[in-house]
């Protein structure tokens, strides 16, 4: 009898990305890992789904699983509804090339795939490596193999994603693990303005400014200091305090329909 945990592995950098391959190898040591990941690069796809184009799942040649056209969320939806024989115990998304700390969680396809799993009631973890140029995923893959068993053991509350970011560098240089908040620092978007051959302007997102935290122990601050950051993200978007306030100021004098 096979009692290994079942893990669905996905990402937003595509099924052939090195980060996915690295974490596949480290998790396969103790889990049955099936890959369902996008055929192509979908960083920044956030929670996008494909509505007007048929989805196709192509079996991978060298790993168990599929690459799917198109988005990370399409992959998770299709995996859970059709491609997997059994419901997974956990969904792992990543390892992303580049950090997904602070406000980047809202744009990330890596985090969105994990969100989709959590919305479907499957615990999910997103892993990102804060290194874009010449990324070395070895340390992050080792970190994933430490964190994933914990999540399998302890579970996560419903509607929660665990967002993990790993600093660049060798494993021996990591300062440790930190449980922390998400940085709320605004992004400093930089768009480059260019002209096409006919003299008309076009714009290209060229950067999001320095991704720094607010110095108060948030994910981006600790990541920069060399810590692996673990941030529990909530998918319940209702604002507790505002909701509990009863909305009087927003509702006063408003009436609609026959019930008013
Ligand atoms: Mn990505």
Q: Is 23 exposed, middle or buried (0-12, 13-18, 19+ CB in 10 A)?
A: buried
What is the reported pTM?
0.95
Residue range 174-205, pLDDT digits in tens: 999 999 999 998 888 899 999 999 999 999 99
Residue 1 has pLDDT above 60, yes or no: no
Distance 213 CA to ligand 1 centre (A): 20
Residue range 210-220, pLDDT digits in tens: 678 888 899 99
Contact 212, 185 (CB under 8 A): yes
What is the spatial distance between Cα 145 and Cα 49, in angstroms, rounded to a whole number? Answer: 30
Distance 232 CA to ligand 1 centre (A): 20
Distance 21 CA to ligand 1 centre (A): 14
Residue 225 has pLDDT above 70, yes or no: yes
Residue 170 has pLDDT above 60, yes or no: yes
Contact 39, 69 (CB under 8 A): yes
Distance 186 CA to ligand 1 centre (A): 20
Distance 126 CA to ligand 1 centre (A): 11
Residue range 232-259, pLDDT digits in tens: 999 999 999 999 999 999 999 999 987 6
Distance 117 CA to ligand 1 centre (A): 17
Distance 111 CA to ligand 1 centre (A): 9
Residue range 5-58, pLDDT digits in tens: 999 999 999 999 999 999 999 999 999 999 999 999 999 999 999 999 999 999
Question: How many helices and strands in the chain, by DSSP H and E?
Answer: 7, 11
Q: What six digits make up the tokens of 108?
A: 């990330």
Distance 248 CA to ligand 1 centre (A): 42
Side-chain-facing half-sphere of 18: CA atoms under 13 Å: 12
Residue 137 has pLDDT above 90, yes or no: yes
To 10 degrees, the CA torsion angle through 60, 63, 67, 73? 160
First to last CA, the chain: 62
Residue-level pLDDT at 216: 83
What does the mean pLDDT of the chain come to? Answer: 95
Residue-level pLDDT at 240: 96
Contact 15, 78 (CB under 8 A): no
2 pLDDT band, cuts 50/70/90, is: low
Residue-level pLDDT at 71: 97
Distance 31 CA to ligand 1 centre (A): 24
183 Ramachandran zone, left/alpha/beta (phi>0; psi -120 to 50): beta
Distance 150 CA to ligand 1 centre (A): 24
Torsions phi, psi of 128, nearest 5?
-135, 145
């Amino acid at each position: 009898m096979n009692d290994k945990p079942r893990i669905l592995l996905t990402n937003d950098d595509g099924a052939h990305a090195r980060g996915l391959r690295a974490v596949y190898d480290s998790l396969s040591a103790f889990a049955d890992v099936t890959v369902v990941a996008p055929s192509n690069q979908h960083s920044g796809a956030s929670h996008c789904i494909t509505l007007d184009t048929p989805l196709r799942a192509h079996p991978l040649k060298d790993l168990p699983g599929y690459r799917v056209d198109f988005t990370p969320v399409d992959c998770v939806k299709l995996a859970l509804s059709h491609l997997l024989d059994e419901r997974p115990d956990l969904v792992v998304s990543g390892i992303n090339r580049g950090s997904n700390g602070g406000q980047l969680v809202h744009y990330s396809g890596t985090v969105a795939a994990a969100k989709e799993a959590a919305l479907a009631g499957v615990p999910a973890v997103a892993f990102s490596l804060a290194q874009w140029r010449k990324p070395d995923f070895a340390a992050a893959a080792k970190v994933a193999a430490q964190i994933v068993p914990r999540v399998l053991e302890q579970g996560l509350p419903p509607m929660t994603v665990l967002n993990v970011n790993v600093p660049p560098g060798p494993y021996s240089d990591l300062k440790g693990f930190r449980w922390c908040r998400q940085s709320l620092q605004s992004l400093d978007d930089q768009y480059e303005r260019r002209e096409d051959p006919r003299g008309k302007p076009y714009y290209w997102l060229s950067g999001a400014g320095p991704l720094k935290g607010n110095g108060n122990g948030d994910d981006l601050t600790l990541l920069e200091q060399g810590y692996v950051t673990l941030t529990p993200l909530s998918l319940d978007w209702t604002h507790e305090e505002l909701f509990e306030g009863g909305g009087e100021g927003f509702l006063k004098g408003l009436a609609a329909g026959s019930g008013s």
